[in-house]
Structures are given as structure tokens and as C-alpha cells.
Structure 1
């Protein structure tokens, strides 16, 4: 996946689903459910159980066109193994060695940053977009503040984002939002109660913002 392709996907889809779970089979089912329900950008966090295996099995099930990414990528080895498993982009919690390593092996990166200095560092390392993390309850104000000096940087707020905050952040200029438990719930741990309804709600929100 080329950087411009990831950026286009973020601009058009407006939503990245984040899957992190303790049950690899349930996590796989969750990924498949999300993608087949129309949420195209799915990040599988490497902090989940057997996450690389989940990515690999999801890639086999979904084919080459699925926009599967690896999250919580911290090291160059993480990036390499994620690419081998079938991830087409990486997501980091900060400006780690994984940003440069991902670019070196041809993967675009959503690099985590919170301060102006970190945003500059992420861009210098080749990040395609900046994961504003942790966005938290002050995300809208933080996003607006950072867009002042960085009006052309594509920001993707992540962390503590429910549907109301997602709507506000997209309206405030976020290119997309990354959403974990408010969307996925405990589906990746084996309890998919309410997942279908949450997928529909977040899809509707993203489509409104597109």
C-alpha cells in the first residue's frame, strides 16, 4: 500500500476500527465482521493475543484488497513481522523506530504524537498521517490547537472516542478517527453482544462526515 492510498482511504472512510482482544478466534471473527459490514480500515493491535496470526488469517480470508493494519507497532522487528503477516500499514503509539522501519519496507504509517514537537518528529520520520494519541476528552480542543500550526497535517484522533466525540472531532477537522472499545466492545474477547448495532451506528456517523 502506498502512502497516498492510505491517506485516500482515511479521507473517504473517516473511521479506523481498532481490534485488541484476548481470544484470537474471536478477534479474527471481529475483524471479518467489521470488514464484511463495510468498515474497510481495521487495525489489529499487536498487544492482543496472537495478533500476527489474526492478521495472517484475516488476510487469507479477505484477500489482497483488505485494508488491514497492525497497531501498537513499537520496533523495527514488529514492523517487519506485521508486513510478513499481511498488514499493509502500521500504527504506532509514538514516534518509535518502527516509523522509519515501516517506511523502509514500504509500509505507510500512522504515527502517534501528542505535542507539536512530536508531530514534527513524526512527519520527519515519514508518517503518512498523525495519530493524535491519547485524544481523550480534550481531543477537540487539542486538535484545533494543533491544526493552527499544522493546517495540512492529516490528524487521526485515537483514545476514548465514543460516537459523540467522533462526530465532534470529524467536524473539527480530523481526517478520520480511530475507535476501539466504543465500537468493538468485548467482541474480540468472545462477547459480540451489540456489535452489529455499534457497527451500523459508527458507519452511519462516518458516512455523514464523508
Structure 2
């Protein structure tokens, strides 16, 4: 799968589930709920030691139905392990040059966390596919994206934190390219996750129809 194909899918879905999970059974339940609601992009966090196993198992179970990536990837060693496990993109709370180089080598989109315009431009110039507004999107909300996009309209931005069912329309209107969602898409039953995913995805569909 080429880097551009992966990015197109992320931007098309526009919603990404941020998943921290201890068992493959729960991971499959979360993934199933997300899929039922129309969200097919999942980030599996490397804050837990079994992240590689979860990525492998989800890829085996769902194959092309899901786009699975790795999150909280702080160094190139972890990035390589994630890619070998089948991660189709790499996300981090920080920018790391060695991770960026490795991802570019294997045509894997890299989305580092940045909190200033200087960091964001540095990351994009080095080859990052998208920047993650972290942790600032949690504090400033959707107006942050509008502010950042005014001087740098070409800058692809993923938000991480701060988005919910009540303000999803504001985030979409801000011009954000992908919205990372945690609890709404990872807590509760499979049915509850599916309901939340469907509401979020419907907001995306409505927004894109309005833009046409």
C-alpha cells in the first residue's frame, strides 16, 4: 500500500480511533464497533507492551477492512517493530528525526505531535505526512486549526483530543484533516461504540456533502 493511498484513506474517513487496549478480544470488539459505525482507521498505542501483537491480530482478522497504525512511537526502533507488525502509519506525541527518516524509507506516513508552528514546519520539511496538534488541540479546541491554517493553509493537521459529538461540526469547519477520538470510540459496549462512530461519521459525510 503506497503512502498516498494510506493518506487518502485517512483523509476520506477523517475520524481516527485512538486505542489503548490490553487484550486482542477487546481490540476486536472496539474495531468491530468502529467499523459498524463507518470508522475504519485505528491507531494502536505503544503505551502497552502488546501493541505489535494487537496490530498483527487486527490485520489478520479484518485485513483490508481496517487501516491500522501505531501510536505513541517515540523512537525508530519502535517504529520499525510497528511497521514489521503491519502498521500502515506511525503517530507520535513528539517529532523525532530518525523516526521520520525511517518512515520515509518504507513509505509509511509519519504524523508527529507538534505544539508550535516552528515544530510543525520543521516536521513537514523533513518529510512528515501530517502533523498532530498535540497536546494543544485539547486546550484550544477547533479555533486552533483555523488559526494555524490561516498562515499555512497547505499544512495537513490531525487533532488529538478535544473533539466530541457536540462540537464535531466545529472541528470539521475548522479545516482539520483528521480528528483523533479516544473514549467515544474505545469505551463501553461494541454497540455503544458503533453508535458513537456512526454519529461522528455522519457529521463527516454531511460536511463533505455541503462542501461539494
Which blocks of at least 5 consecutive residues in structure 1 are unaligned?
none
Tell me whether 174-183 or 6-15 shows the greater mean CA deviation: 6-15
Aligned-pair CA distance for 1:87: 0.8
CA RMSD after TM alignment: 2.0
Which blocks of at least 5 consecutive residues in structure 2 are unaligned?
none
Residue equivalent to 1:182: 184
Cα distance in 1 for residues equivalent to 2:49 and 2:28: 11
CA displacement, residues 154-189 of structure 1 (integer Å, 9 cap, x when unaligned) = 11111132123332111111112111113322x5xx
Residue equivalent to 2:158: 156
Does structure 1 conserve the Cα–Cα contact (< 8 Å) formed by 2:37 and 2:196? no
Query: What SS does the corresponding residue of 1:60 show, helix, strand or coil?
Result: helix
Aligned-pair CA distance for 1:192: 4.6
The verdict on how the C-alpha distance between 1:173 and 1:70 changes in structure 2, with shifts beyond 3 A counting, is same
CA displacement, residues 37-75 of structure 1 (integer Å, 9 cap, x when unaligned) = 421111111113511111000111112463111111111
Cα distance in 1 for residues equivalent to 2:30 and 2:19: 8
Aligned-pair CA distance for 1:81: 0.6
Residue equivalent to 2:204: 206
Aligned-pair CA distance for 1:193: 6.7
Cα distance in 2 for residues equivalent to 1:195 and 1:69: 19
Q: How many residues in Structure 1 have an aligned counterpart in Structure 2?
A: 206
Residue equivalent to 1:133: 134
Q: Please, what TM-score do these two structures have when normalized by structure 2?
A: 0.88
